[in-house]
Amino acid sequence: MTRPAYKSGLRLFTLALILTFLRPAPLLVTPGPPQTVVTQHPILGTHTRLTDEVEEWKIKRSLELVREMGAPWIVEFFPWAYYAAEDGSYAWGHPDMVVAHAAAQGLQVVARLGLTPEWARPPDTPLTYLDESAYDDFAAYAAAFADRYRGRVSAVIVGNEPNLSYEWGYRPTSPADYVALLKEVYTAVKAANPDMQVLAGALAPTLEPEGSPWGLNDLAYLQGMYDAGAAGYFDGLAVHAYGLTFPPEAEPGPDILNFRRVELVRQVMVDNSDADKDIYITETGWNDHPRWTLAVRPAQRIQYTLDALQYAETHWPFVKMVAIWAFRFPAPQKSYMDYYTLVTPEFVKKPIYEALQEYAQEK
Amino acid sequence: MRRCKNMLRKNRKTGRLKIADWRVSSLLFLLLLTGLAACNGRESAWPRIQQEGVLRVGLDPTYPPFEVDTGGELSGLDVDLAQAMGADLGLDVAFSYFGYDGLYDALATEQVDVLLSALVIDPARREDFAYSEPYFNAGQILIVRQGETAVTSMTDLANRTLAVELGAQSHVEALEWSRKLAGLTVQPYTTPEEALTAVLQGEADAALVDGINGRLFLRDNPGLTYTANPVTVEPYALVVRIEDSELLDHLNDSLARLQSSGELDAIIAKWLGE
């Protein structure tokens, strides 16, 4: 004998109704009263990864931990593709939340902008593909961002590692094309908010020669930017400075990738009469994955990181900020990337976090 | 794949199924699942492996003592295990090298049939890949002096000193325990060897280290032993593509035979000590 279908449906509906009422109310999370970062080392920063963090309490907790560590700076990614619609409207909900919580914790925000929405690029191109037909759209997004977060975001970075073909839509890298983008973005951002710092880069450390399908040597790329007239269109340069297996004080050289490669980048700026601009190290760090060939032991990682901060503070007056990659991921990456972090996805502080916290309070 | 989507669409379109008739809907659901599984567009690798008589194994040869290439000579625990399984299954083994982060891509793109490279079971990858039964646990182990009877597990460490490698996963784990155990002192050392030496010399009551470093130290330094139960579990397993269930069955059967014959333990003991 078959039970009438409507009865089963009614039962299911009733059950769903009961469950709806039984479900606890969503957690109310507010930014809370304004906090101040207490630190002896204002150069210290960290690159958070809150872009894909959905739960507000986790965003708040991450930023609380950054403040408690004694880092006054965060670098955070605000992808154009996530927030911008083709009709010119923006979904600011998530970036509003991140910026509000960062401001409440007393943190200065450096915003990395990038990733092209599907509507702004040709079919079958990757998210990192951005050509000149959409430069004005990206500039409009950057300007809207700069206007909206006036006084709460200190700087915007135009793109990410444009000297790698992977980050340039799997095309040959082109300093001249990047400078054309930079000009549009700089002009639009300054028109919207003259106080917003516009950072070029961030250049990826790489030794790839001219014509390589993978990218272009960062020093050559930077010179190419100056040759294309970049100097008037950025306020500071964002740089990635990974130590890999070398200690931070290891001598730099044109054929070596190490922490002090920053000095070679700086020299290119000096050679192009651009010495007045600051460098922002928006990613740095050592990795302690047990298997990655470019990793070091966990104790070395801690020591190298602390020594790198001290080195930058002592020797590099032109460096405004040193941001450790990466503070925490919303979920395990299950790769060597997990071994760059300071805090686990479950908010367990790693010993390197404690070491940095101690360092931040020491004179 | 398009055919599979059409199947789904048709099933949705009929709309005549009575929700209450669970038997019919369950049967249809099972049929749908079977259809989807058959429509993944890939054939099982096992018939080809049998026909060619070669099992293609992918690994990253930079992780001694599991796999390392020294001057063109490949050796290690995983290498021996692959050879033993090949012999058990009547197959030759052909090794291919990949970077650690490229291993799963190499498997997905059918460059190899199986990965055997000290890979930890990752539940997040189970949609595309299947894991064998574990053949080794690389999780944290608790090491004490031989003859020690008072410390047999982490809970015995109240008011005692635990040596760890500074910054390592064992350090994080130990700090978590120190929040639960009164009087547990966590003493970090720069390397796992220094932490273990501290136990040997009586500076610490126990050391918490990963199963590989711990066993390697024990192999070369008598006077220490590890407690019966590992503190954490980090299981190493072989990996195949999700559609290769037939291959996986054969690999699991082979592992079981090597386990029961004692050959697996002998391979592990050869590289990591008893």
pLDDT in tens, A101-132: 999 999 999 999 999 999 999 999 999 999 99
Q: Looking at the partner chain, which of A3, A297, A336 has a beta carbon nearest the beta carbon of B191?
A: A297
Query: Does A351 contact B171 at a Cβ distance shorter than 8 Å?
Result: yes
Q: Looking at the partner chain, which of B18, B100, B118 has a beta carbon nearest the beta carbon of A2?
A: B18
Res. A45: pLDDT tops 60: yes
Res. B35: pLDDT tops 60: no
Calculate mean pLDDT across residues B142-164. Answer: 97
- Which residues numbered 183-212 in B keep a CB inside 8 Å of some CB on A? 188, 190-191, 210
Calculate mean pLDDT across residues A169-197. Answer: 98
- In this prediction the pTM is 0.84
For chain B, the average pLDDT equals 88
Domain membership of residue A30 (yes or no) is no
Domain membership of residue A328 (yes or no) is yes
Query: Does A297 contact B176 at a Cβ distance shorter than 8 Å?
Result: no
Mean pLDDT lowest among A10-14, A321-325, B241-245: A10-14
Domain membership of residue A179 (yes or no) is yes
Q: How many domains does chain A have?
A: 1
Q: What is the pLDDT of residues B173-228, one digit of tens each?
A: 999 999 999 999 999 999 999 999 999 999 999 999 999 999 999 999 999 999 99
For A211, the domain range is 40-361
Using a CB-CB cut-off of 8 Å, the residues of chain A touching B171 are: 298, 351
Res. A22: pLDDT tops 90: no
Domain membership of residue A35 (yes or no) is no
Query: Does B171 contact A298 at a Cβ distance shorter than 8 Å?
Result: yes
Q: Which long-range contacts (CB under 8 A, 24 or more apart) does A246-253 make?
A: A247/A300, A247/A304, A247/A307, A248/A304, A248/A307, A248/A308, A248/A311, A249/A307, A249/A311
- Going by pLDDT thresholds of 50, 70 and 90, the confidence category of residue A299 is very high
Domain membership of residue A26 (yes or no) is no
Domain membership of residue A20 (yes or no) is no
Q: Looking at the partner chain, which of B62, B63, B166 has a beta carbon nearest the beta carbon of A302?
A: B166
A16 shares contact with chain B (CB less than 8 Å)? no
Domain membership of residue A78 (yes or no) is yes
Domain membership of residue A109 (yes or no) is yes
- Going by pLDDT thresholds of 50, 70 and 90, the confidence category of residue B34 is very low
Share of chain A above pLDDT 70, in %: 98
CATH number of the domain within which A155 lies? 3.20.20.80
User: What integer pLDDT is reported at residue A293 of this predicted model?
Assistant: 85
